[in-house]
Amino acid sequence: MTVQYDGTNYHGWQEQPGQATVQGTLVECLATILRERPAVEGAGRTDAGVHALGQVAAFKTEHLILADRLWAAVNSRLPPDISVTDVREAPPGFRPSHYALSKHYRYRVYRSPLKPVFEGRYVWHWYQPLAVEPMREAARRLVGRHDFASFEGRGSAREDTVREILRLDIVEAGPELHFEVEGDRFLYRMVRNLVGTLTEVGRGHRPVEWVGQVLEAKDRMAAGPTAPPNGLVLVEVRYPPEWGG
């Protein structure tokens, strides 16, 4: 399944007892249709308040329902802030997180002294100017394979913090800046910490060279603040052709 959702009203993707989550909502919906409770695995565990345009999820079922029938049945039962855009039979052994080549995230920053009334749930409102070119120069220093320990959110227990960023582009779209980040894998809150660090350069509080020092420090305290979750969206998950890419 390819899934879109507005994460505002959910405590993230991962199912949690007593909390509204995207995974939990999908499981409950599928259980009603299939008369069995499938284990739904997602390509990534988005945090509370983070959105998705192209989350990928998979599950096994003994039910013989056709994909197009399942697609219609699921969408007729899901709440308005979750939509399944595609359902297909997956190759045997497919796991959406394990076989992903890369994930593409977009972070939206809205630059204006005026509050964005209609877009406020999906952007980080920035009242002050941000210098784009210094941020782009700093972003180029983050592209490639590095130890991103300085950009890992607290509370994660991962021993391996080496990741590869394939691209980190900053695109101007009217009053918005879009931070387009694609990588092989991501650490906990890594994209939001990258954006928060780059805005420190954009506002003139730090020089471009500081970003390299942050990487070398391998210490979360060396980096900038964590950008709020509402500006982040999982745009796409890419797979090899043999896994449906």
pTM above 0.85, yes or no: yes
Q: Over the Cα atoms of the chain, what is R_g? A: 19
Helices (H), 143-225: 190-202, 210-217
Residue 102's alpha-carbon distances to 27, 82, 185, in angstroms, are 25, 23, 7
Could you tell me the domains of the chain?
A: 2-98 (3.30.70.580), 102-238 (3.30.70.660)
- Give me the torsion for CA of 196, 198, 203, 204, rounded to 10°: 130
Quick one: pLDDT at residue 92? 86
- Listed in sequence order, the residues at least 6 apart from 20 whose beta carbon sits closer than 8 Å to its beta carbon are 9, 10, 11
Quick one: pLDDT at residue 244? 65
Catalytic residue, from 47, 81, 160, 184: name it.
47
Across the chain, which has 245 residues, the per-10-residue mean pLDDT values are: 97 94 97 95 94 97 93 97 95 90 97 93 94 98 96 80 97 96 95 98 96 95 96 96 72
| Residue 82 and residue 67 in contact, taking contact as beta carbons nearer than 8 Å | no
Q: What is the pLDDT of residues 70-119, one digit of tens each?
A: 999 999 999 999 999 999 999 888 999 999 999 999 999 999 999 999 99
Burial of 214 (0-12, 13-18, 19+ CB in 10 A): buried
Alpha-carbon gap, residue 185 to 51, rounded angstroms:
18
Quick one: pLDDT at residue 245? 65
Ramachandran bin of 155, using left for φ above 0, alpha for ψ from -120 to 50, beta for the remaining angles: left
- 47 tagged catalytic: yes
Quick one: pLDDT at residue 157? 65
